[in-house]
Every structure is written in C-alpha cells, then in structure tokens.
Amino acid sequence: MKGIEVYGDKLILYGCGDFLNDYEGIRGYESFRSDLGLMYFSDIDSSTGKLKALEMVPTQVKRFRINLAPQKNAKWLAQTLNRECQKFKTRIVLTEDNRLRLLWRGD
C-alpha cells in the first residue's frame, strides 16, 4: 500500500497493485499482505477533474477469488494507508459499513 495524494484537488493514486494476483501460497512475503487490496470508487467533477470524494472497498483474495475483506483486515488497511498518507496530508477513515473514505483539505 502506498499513500494517496490530492494535488490541486486532483486525485493521485500510487502503487494500486494488482486487483487479482497469483501470489497466494508463496511463502516468505506474508508481511506484505498481498492478499489484501482495494476497489476504488471516485467521484470526480467531469468539467474540472477535481476530486469530490473517494471511497474504497477492502478486498481479500482467497483461493484466487476476490472477497470482501473482514473488518480486522479493513482496519489493517486503514492503519497502513494512514501511515503512508501522512506525507500527503491526507487520511483514511473506516466507515461503519467497512469501507475506507479519503479525507483531505481539513475534511
């Protein structure tokens, strides 16, 4: 996971990774949590390209299938993203429905 930046009110996503990968079962890299990912849903003003909102749905790959990630893994993703987002002055909140929401500009 890498941080999410909003520059000039435009969304910049770094290191989004693979939506579905074939790393499952490869030992020695478990700490990287390659089984976890995100589906990104952005609301962007079509006339200006400015970001209005970004929500992410945490996913987990099991048996080469995309599943919704359980809350403990969504929390891990939120914590990891918050650490990585600090340099961009953005942050992530975990919502009641287990989604992640990007906050920026003092939101």
Domain boundaries, the chain: 4-103
- Per-residue pLDDT, averaged over 6-16, amounts to 92
- The least confident of 20-29, 39-48, 66-75, 87-96 is 20-29
pLDDT of residue 23: 65
Q: Is the pLDDT of residue 94 over 90?
A: yes
Paired with 43 in beta bridges are 53
DSSP structure string for 17-56? --SS-S-TT-TT-GGG-TTEEEEEEEEE-TTT--EEEEEE
pTM across the whole model: 0.84
